[in-house]
């Protein structure tokens, strides 16, 4: 397997890494298991202190870490710095609130007393993607380290320097060896590792196909799994939306991270009364985006994560056009070196067309015009995905009513889908199951043990 840093701005190889041997991986799993036996006995304060140290180090090293993100997967530098800030905030969030989230729940039986106590379950395997190489890892690792579990992390093969940097920060924060461990292995070997009896649960973020493989192995071995898979988030514009502000959010919602986000706004659905006004302004805004070197602070749209990703997206656009879609803007690879794609808008989409059904992971928007609110809801729900979505309207009660009818794990009114530490994150349908972040995220990999105290003479 190839584990390499390839700068997507130039498509040139920067650094290569050796895949770990089976013997090395076995030793690291053993170390994580040994660390768990001690870590589970530590206090919440000790665990919180470690997370705070990691957060402090991330903020101190923000500039250097952000440059690694941008180098390896092409995120524009300001967004890379924001990712480090968000990751540090998540670490602090669980350090500050974890003990409260995990406190005993007191029950009130008719006789005696009873509590439900949360306890760690052991070594967890995380398989994480490249698009947010620090945030995705932290939102899995932070709550589970706070629980008392230990972490094995198989990161995406195109961000090896990010993977190594995270482990190094835990080491610098004086985390006991085995609490957080990076594994340089292939996805196939990660799936096989699920069968190891020392591993008690798995969290996967990535494609449907790879997620299904991991889930199949977890199911075969009766292990808990959390899946965060693809998304094709809807962005509904109703006739009473604040149009200028809605267009601003549409641009950010589609183009953030070069469009490479599971919760990026991807399907833009406008009611016909305002569809022409929206698409005219949306096209004008996208046509003015500055495409360029992601290390340049002036750049607004960088490359895709890899040449393979750019080729795949361009092929999806071509297949869609061949099947009957119309290109309103862009539609081609950008005329420059690197893994770039033009800002693109497709329309005249219907069932059977590639872009109608598949996730477009990059700066390509799908645009639909519908008759009214109910038609927008019906079209929004005609998707195999169910991660996030947005509704834009000045009538908040109307927005809530529409949001309640959208079949997704998250829905936002007058804002694109977003993430923050105290919002539960996850989806429905083929977007996966389970939740990360907020209190929900710390409850996924715990043993909820009932402890019941009865009097010797209490009835059965």
Catalytic positions are: 228, 262
In contact, 368 and 214? CB cutoff 8 Å: no
Helices (H), 173-265: 187-193, 208-220, 243-255
In contact, 284 and 276? CB cutoff 8 Å: no
Helices (H), 256-395: 272-287, 307-322, 354-357, 373-381
Distance CA 144, CA 138 (A): 10
Q: What angle do CA 17, 91, 145 make, to 5 degrees?
A: 75
Closest CA to 391 of 253, 228, 229: 253
In contact, 411 and 403? CB cutoff 8 Å: yes
Q: 176-200 in b/e burial notation, b at 16+ Cβ within 10 A?
A: bebbbbbbbbbbebbbebbebebbb
CA distance readout (Å), 307 to 12, 55, 206, 248, 268: 10, 33, 18, 29, 27
What single string gives the DSSP state of each residue in 422-445?
TS-B--EETTEES-BSHHHHHSTT
Structure tokens at 330: 């862009």
Distance CA 73, CA 4 (A): 11
């Amino acid at each position: 397997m190839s584990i390499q840093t390839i700068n997507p701005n130039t498509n040139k190889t920067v650094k290569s890494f050796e895949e770990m041997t089976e013997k090395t991986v076995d030793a690291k799993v053993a170390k994580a298991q040994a660390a768990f036996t001690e870590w589970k006995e530590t206090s919440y304060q000790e665990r919180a202190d470690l997370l705070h140290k990691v957060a402090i180090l991330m903020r101190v090293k923000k500039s250097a870490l952000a440059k690694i993100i941008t180098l390896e997967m092409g995120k524009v530098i300001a967004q890379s710095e924001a990712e480090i800030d968000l990751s540090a905030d998540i670490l602090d969030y669980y350090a500050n609130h974890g003990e409260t989230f995990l406190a005993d729940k007191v029950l009130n039986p008719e006789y005696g007393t009873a509590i439900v106590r949360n306890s760690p379950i052991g070594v967890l395997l995380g398989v994480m993607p490249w698009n947010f190489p620090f945030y995705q890892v932290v939102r899995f690792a932070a709550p589970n380290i706070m629980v008392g579990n230990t972490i094995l992390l198989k990161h995406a093969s195109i961000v090896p320097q990010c993977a190594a940097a995270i482990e190094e920060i835990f080491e610098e924060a004086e985390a006991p060896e085995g609490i957080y461990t990076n594994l340089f292995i292939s996805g196939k070997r990660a799936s096989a590792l699920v069968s190891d009896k020392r591993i008690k649960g798995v969290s996967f973020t990535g494609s449907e196909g790879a997620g299904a493989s991991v889930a199949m192995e977890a199911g075969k071995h009766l292990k808990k799994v959390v899946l965060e898979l693809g998304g094709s988030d809807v962005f509904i514009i109703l006739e009473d939306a604040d149009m200028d502000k809605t267009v601003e959010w549409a641009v950010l919602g589609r183009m953030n991270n070069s469009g490479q986000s599971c919760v990026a706004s991807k399907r833009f659905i406008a009611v016909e009364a305002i569809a022409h006004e929206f698409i005219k302004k949306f096209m004008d805004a996208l046509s003015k985006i500055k495409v360029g070197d992601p290390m340049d602070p002036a750049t607004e749209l960088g490359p895709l994560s890899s040449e393979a990703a750019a080729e795949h997206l361009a092929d999806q656009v071509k297949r869609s056009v061949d099947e009957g879609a119309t290109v309103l803007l862009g539609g081609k690879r950008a005329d420059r070196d690197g893994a770039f794609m033009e800002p693109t808008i497709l329309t005249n989409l219907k069932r059977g067309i590639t872009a109608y059904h598949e996730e477009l992971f990059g700066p390509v928007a799908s645009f639909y015009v519908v008759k009214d609110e109910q038609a927008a809801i019906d079209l929004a729900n005609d998707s195999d995905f169910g991660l996030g979505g947005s509704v834009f309207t000045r009538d908040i009660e109307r927005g809530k009513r529409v949001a309640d009818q959208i079949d997704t794990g998250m829905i936002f009114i007058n804002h694109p889908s977003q993430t923050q530490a105290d919002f539960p994150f996850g989806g429905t349908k083929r977007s996966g199951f389970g939740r990360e972040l907020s209190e929900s995220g710390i409850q996924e990999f715990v043993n909820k043990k009932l402890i019941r105290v009865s009097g010797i003479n209490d009835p059965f």
